[in-house]
Amino acid sequence: MSTMSLTSLALDLGSLQRSDTTTVEILHPVSGDATGMKVVVHGVDSPTYREADRALRNRRLHKLQHSGRNTKITAEGTDADGLELLVRCTASWEGFMENGQPLPFTKDNARRVYEEHRWLRRQVDEAVTDAASFFGKSPSSSSASPSTSSD
């Protein structure tokens, strides 16, 4: 293959625009309709996610090192760590109501909502790990050419 054809196939890393956060539109668990609830989360490649993940792993390792042989890793413990990671990666929300009242975003409210509403937690958790949703749309090779529209 010639150098020219390799260059035309190569991805220009400078063309990728990654954001640390994305907005998740929460869908109704049965109908799939929009609920008006939105959650802003930090993604797996963000500094916030990486710092929270390291802190939780370091906490677990510290506990293992200082507790001796009797320390057990449990499903409940890893689930709690996953919840805490999700809470730490949640930046804000809007449109949340509870008992007819607006539910303000706090880390404690997020933790409680994620614990009580697993369907909502799953949607947010899936968004955090969906790396593609943190990249802006880059122009395709066909749209990089000058526009021919008359507006």
Q: Domain range for residue 25?
A: 19-133
User: What is the reported pTM?
Assistant: 0.76
For residue 67, tell me if it sits in a domain.
yes
For residue 14, tell me if it sits in a domain.
no
89 burial type by CB count under 10 A (0-12 exposed, 13-18 middle, 19+ buried): buried
> Within its chain, how far is the Cα of 18 from the centroid?
13
For residue 24, tell me if it sits in a domain.
yes
Which residues 6+ apart lie within 8 Å of 64 measured at CB? 71, 73
For residue 139, tell me if it sits in a domain.
no
For residue 44, tell me if it sits in a domain.
yes
At 87, phi and psi to the nearest 5?
-60, -45
pLDDT computed for residue 7 by the predictor: 60
For residue 51, tell me if it sits in a domain.
yes
pLDDT tier at 25, thresholds 50, 70, 90: very high
Tokens read off for 53? 């993940």
Rounded mean pLDDT of the chain?
84
Could you report the per-residue pLDDT of 82-119, keeping only the tens digit for each? Answer: 999 999 999 999 999 999 999 999 999 999 999 999 99
For residue 1, tell me if it sits in a domain.
no
Task: Count up the domains in the chain and report the number.
Answer: 1
